[in-house]
Amino acid sequence: MVGCASLARVTDPAAAPGATSEVGPLRTVLLHRPGPELRRLTPRNNDQLLFDGVPWVARAQEEHDAFAQALADRGVEVLHLATLLAEILEQPAARTELIAAAVDDPRLGATLQRDATRHLSGLAAPDLASALIAGLAHDELRGSGLAYQLMDRADFVVPPLPNLLFTRDSSVWIADQVAVTSLAMPARHRESTITAAVYAHHPRFAGAEQLYGADLEHLEGGDVLLLAEGVVAVGVGERTTPGGAERLARRVFGRGLAHTVLVVPIAQERATMHLDTIATMVDVDAMVMYPAVADSLTAWTVRAPEGSSPEDADTTDLAVTGPQPFVVAAAAAMGIDKLRVIDTGLDPVTAEREQWDDGNNTLALAPRLAVAYERNTVTNAALEAAGIEVVRIAGSELGSGRGGPRCMSCPVARAPL
């Protein structure tokens, strides 16, 4: 496992948080190494917990370690979410906040909430971090009261968070501010409470402003692409609502973080749950895109009206035009002649297979340098033919939660282009 130094001591100005593009040289990234929470998955609950199967945990950890090492080998500072969480849980305010969020569940009732709070409060910081991520099972707690007695022994008092692996979704940096997102699926709601607490309490992020919040309209980081400085694309589909896109647009305009937001409707299906499952940037003017949508993807162009100000950012009207073909609207917003879509040359069956296996979900480390799953051989070959260097990683077990290298990484700092 790639280590994570004590973050309070990191003083390198180059690692100051913030990102203005998808392809600026990656300096710092936030990952979560899968752990005991994946061992909670069974054929009985994997659908509810949003996994398509029961992964081989040891192999998933090996794959993730190799992913983290590939980033470190290319000069990327790797932060681990569990390490940050354990560090902030040394602080009483963070402990109280996160324990309260963990037991805020109407299934439990007052007695079981009290028992769970007492149990969690007695844990040392590393053990509490593990319990908040891996969950707390019925038989791991000496509970009392009706809710505890009637609960099935296989049920969880505090459900596990196996999707915490996909750190992209619960937060996204836009310029020097972080949007802690509002996750749509009930199995993922508590992820944002952990992410928000890390950004609020960890000294590494002291002074960082939070642009969005988990209490707002649904918005997920996998739907947010920073196409260029000042240009943000937001997918609207299964996980992000039009209201979430609208709220984010108002806030980035009000805080001067962007001048254009492209709202991109996508199919409300699991295979295309986020915009980054069908398209990701691999160069300053190029993206890889699922061939089945390349000619049909559209965008609405949203801009701030004349005279808007931060004081009315959540209520002001927006200037909306469109729709246009996505590539046309994107090029106009980015100020370039054309947004290149790399032609993968895939037949429909292979294209569908590789899209399902996150072939389009690449993580750019710099312009023309991207991490991708090794299994998507045809897509990777097409990227290389287009001049993109591909860093291949294994993902046979990591992919069981339907996420690729971009999904598993939250860029905290990118150098400007």
Neighbour count for residue 204 (Cβ, 10 Å): 20
What is the residue type of 140?
Answer: E
CB 373 within 8 A of CB 341: no
**Phi, psi dihedral angles at 148 (to 5 degrees):** -65, -45
CATH topology match: 81-159 vs 163-414? no
| CATH class given for the domain over 163-414 | alpha beta
CB 168 within 8 A of CB 407: yes
Residue partners of 152: CB distance under 8 A and separation at least 6: 138
CB 285 within 8 A of CB 365: no
Domain boundaries, the chain: 81-159, 163-414
Assigned CATH topology for domain 81-159: Pentein (1.10.3930)
Residues labelled catalytic: 407
H-assigned helices in 125-178: 125-134, 146-150
Instruction: Per residue of the chain (417 residues), give pLDDT as tens.
Output: 655 443 433 445 446 899 999 999 999 999 999 998 888 877 776 666 666 677 788 898 999 999 999 999 999 999 999 999 999 999 999 999 999 999 999 999 999 999 999 999 999 999 999 999 999 998 889 888 899 899 888 888 999 998 899 999 999 999 999 999 999 888 788 999 999 999 999 999 988 999 999 999 999 999 999 999 999 999 998 889 999 999 999 999 989 999 999 999 987 654 456 899 889 999 999 999 887 777 889 999 999 877 666 555 677 789 999 899 999 999 999 999 999 998 766 656 555 554 445 457 899 999 999 999 888 888 899 899 999 999 999 877 877 666 789 999 999 999 998
